[in-house]
Amino acid sequence: MTAEQLISDSIIPLRTSDTGEEALGLMNDFYIRHLPIVNDKQLLGLISEDDILEHDVEEAVGSYRLSLVRPYVHSNDHIYEILRLIAEYQLTLIPVVDHDENYIGLVTMEDTLQYFARTASFSEPGSILVLEINRRDYQLSEIARIVESESAAILSSFVTSNLDSTRIDVTLKINRQNVQAIIATFNRFDYEVKATFNETEYLDSLRDRYDSLMAYLNV
């Protein structure tokens, strides 16, 4: 999935002549805290709600000093790059540009999260295992081999690490609800199974967190 496939056409970018008051109105309408400023096709920058509140809302946004650098993604950038920049700059949306860095649209954080919620790794039934291992011992191929030895498959995986620790957490979504045999095999190979979640617990937790996030964004 690339940025071009996630572009939203419902939110119109600001022009330099638009006022801060108009920008706040758009932000309230779409439950966002950022908007791109575009001059013809040129992306000038990304304005935040805080930027507007620090200036006279009756003035044109083209006269504002922006606190953000000019974050954007290219149309062919992967969704992981979108997530990285959204997290790094704490954005509610990010502009998308073409190879000439001309503005072509934007991707919202909500649309990005909804895309992940619809993917097979979330929607297919299964269970979650969290392994805690030494960073130097991490080999996904070996972990996959253990899971596959029990006639199961890994639907998705991700690693959570802390720079201050030599330990990492490896979270696995496995296409089986009963994973006791898989846990026993991991234990036999000296893996520490830190946590397990069956499908019902996982989906209920995911739904609660997603609903809480959407409620926060709509404040």
Per-residue pLDDT tens listing for the chain (219 residues) = 899 999 988 899 999 999 999 999 999 999 999 999 999 899 999 999 999 999 999 999 999 999 988 899 999 999 989 999 999 999 999 999 999 989 999 999 999 988 877 775 666 788 999 999 999 999 999 999 999 999 999 998 989 888 788 999 999 999 998 899 999 999 999 999 999 987 555 556 666 676 777 777 665
Q: Give the pair of three-digit tokens for residue 30.
A: 């779409």
Tally of residues, the chain: 219
103: Cα within 13 Å, side-chain hemisphere: 25
Q: Give the pair of three-digit tokens for residue 99.
A: 């190879």
Q: Where are the alpha helices (DSSP H) in the chain?
A: 20-30, 49-53, 79-89, 109-118, 120-123, 140-148, 180-188, 199-217
Domains delineated in the chain = 3-116 (3.10.580.10), 120-210 (3.30.2130.10)
CB atoms within 10 A of CB 216: 9
Per the confidence metrics, is the pTM higher than 0.75? no
